Amino acid sequence: MKFDSYKEGTLLDLENANLKEPDISDLLESLSNNHQVTQLKLAGKYINDGIIQNLTDINFINCIYITDKGIEALANSPNMQNLTSINFQYCYKITNKGIEALADSQNIQNLSSISFEDCYKITDEGVESLVNSPNMQNLTSINLGGCNITDKALTDLTNSSNMQNITSINFRGTIITDKALMDLANSLNMQNITNINFKDCNDITNKGITDLVNSSSTKNLTIISLSTLMSIEEIEDIVKKLPKIQELKIADDNGLSEFCNYLIQLRDFESNSDFNKEERIKDIMFSFAQQGKDEYIKYILNNQEKYPFLVNTKDEYDHNLMHFYTHDPEMQKLFFEKGMIPSKEIDPDNIMLSIVNDAQSVHTSEVTKRTNFFTNELVQVFRAPSS
């Protein structure tokens, strides 16, 4: 089999190649004679164990026949000394024995990125051997998402002085808890960490996230992926206390990630003299109005000292917020209480009077009484015959 057509610079991409078992020997021979190829992509290929030489980057994703024996051969090869990245995602046959072979190898001391994602036979024992190995001191990224690991794995990682270069960890879908997050927050070895993925870690609560946010060791965090739902106030706290945070990903968050990203923009651009905070908040408000995300609109209107917004503001189509809530009396009431001036197209009998006469309303304070009076006067103005 000829491989030249699959070359892209230093990458040999065989993901879409019709690679058969006899081609493996040809591949090995080709690689041994072509030192320009430093990256090999074999995603989804049904290949067996073999030694791949002269590489810096190997991707064995979904190679389900790779076993511990193959990893041992890789680890024992003196030709792997330039290897910096290896991906064993979905290689289901790999066990702790395979990890231990890598950890013990002096041939792969330049490894900076490793992934055993969804290798479900890997447990805390395998992770312990990996993170405590002096051969792994150059690791910056470790992906153990979907592995059969517990708090011990994360605690071993954060406590290991060999892991001080780590910038990215992925523990997606594992059963770690707030206890391990506390260990991460208290670790002096994790001060370079920028990216954490705890998505689908259902035993993590808001307390664990709060511990992370309040830690002096996590101030370099830029990307956080979670499934833990939080309040708007907690999102504000994250943006405030993590000065470098650029992205918060929350599964099924109903707008929390979007709101967080808006807050990040407000924070990052506020020092810019050309930045118009009111205009940005206007964009936020109308974006949420179009999506029907009332919670954020209510929050902003009720926190004007932090989010200045004139309730009568209109978008580029000359619509105010009322345009998006013509059948929502609760939101209409809020808008009027915040000072919205109704337009002629609004039926005062059906809207404003219901606001004034709502027995379930919180119309008890002096401020609310004044709002009622103002609204009532507006009703009379709209009822008055035009001259």
> Mind spelling out the 3-state secondary structure of 4-25?
HHHEECCEEECCCCCCCCCHHH
Q: Position 256: which residue type?
A: L
Stretch 25-37: mean pLDDT: 62
pLDDT of residue 366: 47
Task: Give the model's confidence band at 362: pLDDT under 50 very low, under 70 low, under 90 confident, else very high.
Answer: very low
> Is pLDDT above 50 for 170?
yes
Q: Position 48: which residue type?
A: N
Q: Element (H or E) spanning 301, and its range?
A: helix 294-301
Residue with the bigger pLDDT between 365 and 147: it is: 147
Residues in the chain: 387
pLDDT of residue 36: 72
Pairing type for strands 57-59 and 85-87 reads: parallel
DSSP state for residue 32 in the 8-state scheme: H
pLDDT of residue 50: 44
Of the candidates 193, 209, 126, the residue with the CA atom closest to the CA atom of residue 158: 193
pLDDT of residue 177: 98
Of the candidates 355, 112, 18, 217, the residue with the CA atom closest to the CA atom of residue 3: 18
Chain-wide mean pLDDT for the chain? 85
> Is pLDDT above 90 for 24?
no
Residues 6+ positions from 180 with CB-CB distance below 8 Å: 150, 151, 154, 155, 158
Domain borders along the chain are: 1-114+125-134, 282-383
pLDDT of residue 77: 85
- Alpha-carbon dihedral sign for residues 329, 335, 337, 342: negative
Stretch 166-174: mean pLDDT: 98
- Torsion of the alpha carbons at 320, 325, 328 and 332, rounded to the nearest 10: 0
> In which residue are the tokens 């013990």 written?
104
Residue with the bigger pLDDT between 11 and 284: it is: 284
> Is pLDDT above 50 for 275?
yes
> Is pLDDT above 60 for 32?
no
CATH superfamily of the domain spanning 1-114+125-134:
Ribonuclease Inhibitor (3.80.10.10)
Of the candidates 67, 49, 112, 62, the residue with the CA atom closest to the CA atom of residue 86: 112
Residues 6+ positions from 85 with CB-CB distance below 8 Å: 56, 57, 58, 111, 112, 113, 114
Task: Give the model's confidence band at 345: pLDDT under 50 very low, under 70 low, under 90 confident, else very high.
Answer: low
Q: Counting Cβ atoms within 10 Å, is residue 193 exposed (0-12), middle (13-18) or buried (19+)?
A: buried
Of the candidates 46, 41, 18, 38, the residue with the CA atom closest to the CA atom of residue 80: 38
